[in-house]
Amino acid sequence: MCKMQESASTMVEGYLSLENIILRSIEEEHDELSCPQKEETSCSEKEELIDIATLVQSNCSKVPYYDLHIIYSASYRVPVLFFRAYYGDGEPLGFNEIEKDLPAHSAKALLDSKWMFITQEEHPYLNRPWFKLHPCGTSEWMKLLFHVDVSVAKNGVTVELYLLSWLSVVGQVVGLRIPLEMLNQQ
């Protein structure tokens, strides 16, 4: 479940951004870990990596925050998810740490299938290294998604609907869940 701490959805210089969000909650898979109830209840499975001695203190400031940007790729002609993660103190997560933080089931499935994979490259607007989900497979699986939708075949698809469908797949890699009601707007 997605917990929004501070979120900003803005279109700045041609991309969509959702920032400072916590994507893991205490209800997620590794809930055998106990985290004392504080006002923050989002302790992620990151805690598995902390050794037992510190687990008692249950350091919830080690919850990763994510920035997600959706940027259109002119060369692939599809949207691309750029993302980065950092702890509350600002320390960024490296690739290995992010990989461990991704939701085990869905992320692994999508990444292993080679429908998409994570690369690190310079953010086209911010000129800093971000992670991205490589877009080379996007048009293929987007075609599959829309292939079975009769109304799309007839009427085409709006940008909003395209992005929702796209995000339903891409969101599974980072653990962002789209509410079903949002997707059910036919």
Partner 1 sequence: MAADSPSSVRKVVVHLRATGDAPILKQAKFKIPGTDKFAKVIDFLCRQLHRETLFVYVNSAFSPNPDELVIDLYNNFGFDGKLVVNYACSMAWG
Q: Which residues bind partner 1 (CB under 8 A)?
A: 105-106, 109-110, 112-115, 136-137, 140-141, 144-149, 152, 157, 161, 164-165, 168-169, 171-172, 177-178, 180-181, 183-184, 186
CB 46 within 8 A of CB 64: yes
136 catalytic? Reply is yes
C-beta of 14 vs 179, nearer to partner 1: 179
Minimal distance, residue 176 CB to partner 1, in Å: 9
Burial call 47-80: b when 16+ CB within 10 Å, e when fewer: beeeeeeeeeebbbebbbbbbbbbbeeeeeebbb
C-beta of 115 vs 130, nearer to partner 1: 115
C-beta of 64 vs 171, nearer to partner 1: 171
Query: Any residues with CB less than 8 A from the CB of 143 and at least 6 apart, and which?
Result: none
| Active-site amino acid positions | 136
